[in-house]
Structure 1
């Protein structure tokens, strides 16, 4: 793995962590109370189960990226992990590739499910007699919208990281033979 790829991957992972943590903070600390018919009603991320799932998924993906930054730091060292010998580095690249793919898909799925559930809060559903919640909780809805923007920006960043991870893995294989390692006799 070249130093340029490691550095780019590290910077992108820092950006993804920042966006994921910002998304979690915007959702987690977002609360609004308003009176409806002289009764205090409170809106928080616990009001929609999909928002709770986003907090868990974004937190796990941010933690995973912190571990991956440690990997980037180790690979950037002069000796690095690849000096351990054998196929350990190939297994590490495969594991990183699969986990990066899982992080991208989970982040996208959680944010999309949250967006769909929040869309019902914005528009309501007459068939189920659900009222529009964003008529009453303006600040809450705007802050949730900001969290979705951060979540989708993190998804885009994780998608680029996934491309880098795929490149880092498959550059070790010969283009002439399907998934055969390049010879190290060069």
Structure 2
């Protein structure tokens, strides 16, 4: 079982999918209502626009990884897609490499933006007269924190997948010549 092994990539993708879906569920079903000065105030993921964006990004990243998991399953079959030419494999590896990078960095960026917005909910901003929301909505804030933890864990899984994707792509190129494919007998 080597670094670029399809099983290793499949296991990492499965873990990333579980973490991304868990993050989406934690944010999507997180609601809390408290009474402030005889008025019911409700906190949900719609309260912070950054949390809505995290739900979209994590959902798209999970969907993409489900498709890539199907690709791993096809490659793990005895015949795989060996009927297709070498150039098609290279294009597929480039596409996977690019999309793996996009998924990892968008997941990181959306979780970091959400973390910044949540930081304001924890600390408040006296200059803008924004109150601390987490003083009132304890369960909501803890659940959002759990979603961030799952989101960052998914990012690290996606980062490892990106490393594997880069390895799978660039092992087909000659180390002596910039972006020149190895000959077919050395390609293994």
TM > 0.5: yes
> Which aligned segments of 4 or more residues in structure 1 are displaced greater than 6 angstroms?
none
How many residues were matched structurally?
Answer: 185
Instruction: Give the match for residue 17 of structure 1.
Output: 17
Over residues 59-108 of structure 1, what are the superposed CA-to-partner deviations in whole Å (9 max), with x where a residue is unaligned? 00000000000100111111112321240000000000000000010000
1:174 matched to 2:174? The reply is yes
Contact 1:3/1:76 (CA < 8 Å) preserved in 2? no
Over residues 29-53 of structure 1, what are the superposed CA-to-partner deviations in whole Å (9 max), with x where a residue is unaligned? 0000000000000000000000000
Cα distance in 2 between the residues matched to 1:171 and 1:150: 32
TM-score normalised by the chain length of structure 2: 0.96
Contact 2:4/2:167 (CA < 8 Å) preserved in 1? no
Cα distance in 1 between the residues matched to 2:126 and 2:3: 57
- When residues 86 and 167 of structure 1 are mapped into structure 2, their CA distance, relative to the original with a 3 A threshold, is closer
Cα distance in 1 between the residues matched to 2:143 and 2:86: 50
Cα distance in 2 between the residues matched to 1:82 and 1:94: 17
Instruction: Give the match for residue 71 of structure 2.
Output: 71
Over residues 103-131 of structure 1, what are the superposed CA-to-partner deviations in whole Å (9 max), with x where a residue is unaligned? 01000000000000000000000110000
Contact 2:16/2:158 (CA < 8 Å) preserved in 1? yes
Instruction: Give the match for residue 162 of structure 1.
Output: 162
Q: CA RMSD in A?
A: 1.2
Q: Which runs of 5+ in 1 are unaligned?
A: none
User: In the TM superposition, what are the counterparts of 1:7-156 in structure 2 within 5 Å?
Assistant: 7-156=7-156
SS in 2 for 1:35: strand
Cα deviation, residue 4, structure 1: 6.6
TM-score normalised by the chain length of structure 1: 0.97
Contact 2:34/2:42 (CA < 8 Å) preserved in 1? yes
